[in-house]
Amino acid sequence: MLLHVNQLDSYYGRSQTLHNVSLTVEEGELICVLGANGAGKSTLLKAILGEIKYSGNLKFCSEDNKHMITPKIGYVPQKLAIDKDSPCSVLDIFLACSSSTPVCFIKPTSKRKTVLDILDRVQAAHLANRRLSELSGGEIQRILLGLALVPIPNLLLLDEPVSGVDKNGADLFYKIVSEVLKKYDLSIIMVSHDLEKVRRYADKVVLLNRTILCQGTPKEVFDSDAFKNAFTFARLYSKDGGDINV
């Protein structure tokens, strides 16, 4: 699958949130979108999801560019609001998302192996019986990633999926995403602020500030004047040589 975004514009009230955004996403490609708060990163994902109005063109095509297709899209938000008193387990939420029948009428044993296989993709099978309210931020995000992979999508959208997650959890999440990309025929667009991870995992980087300032390989974007100007006041390297964050 190829995604062609051509001259995309969007507005929030009278304020323009995206202007003349054009890019191509190829199969098997991990694209990371960078930009300051308010740059339109989440808005771009919402436009691709069809959740907001926009002008311009979004086309999903076959790899040979000859046929339009209706894609399967998976989505992982920044976080999931969970009632701390909810008894809902990981198994419950998977059963609820895979059937129109109320969970209380589903026999978990009949679906358990299927759910465990899905959770195993994101190294979370051991969490099946845990309450969602008991999970860490990193564990919740892996559960959401597992849900986004049912069925395996053509395009996976990740909106700052490790925001607020500790370093170990973030490292594991990026590793799993990399493995998913290698194993399945899909494409990924990820909004991220972690430049070290972007440098390591991304095939292409898009620097956004309502319009695309620069796009290319991580090296090309990080070495560009547009990037240096955009992050003049950012802290690029930690004192101990650890992760780069903006």
pLDDT per 10-residue tile (average), the chain, 246 residues: 92 92 94 93 95 93 80 92 87 81 65 88 94 93 95 95 90 95 93 92 96 96 91 48 43
Q: Which residues sit opposite 214 in a β-bridge?
A: 207
Quick one: CA dihedral 137, 186, 157, 92, positive or negative? negative
pLDDT at 75: 96
Q: How far apart are CA 184 and CA 181, in angstroms?
A: 6
Closest CA to 185 of 69, 106, 42, 78: 69
Helix (H, G, I), strand (E, B) or coil at 51: coil
Instruction: Write out the two tokens for 93.
Output: 């939420």
Number of other CB atoms surrounding residue 29 within 10 Å: 17
pLDDT at 102: 66
* Cβ–Cβ < 8 Å for 21, 211: yes
* pLDDT single digits (tens) 73-103: 999 998 888 888 888 899 988 888 876 666 6
pLDDT at 219: 95
pLDDT at 106: 65
User: What are the structural domain ranges in the chain?
Assistant: 1-72+153-246, 81-151
pLDDT at 73: 96
Sheet with 155-159, side-by-side order of all strands? 73-76, 155-159, 187-191, 30-34, 204-209, 211-216
pLDDT at 83: 85
pLDDT at 14: 85
Length of the chain in residues, anyone? 246
CATH 3.90.226.10 correct for 1-72+153-246: no
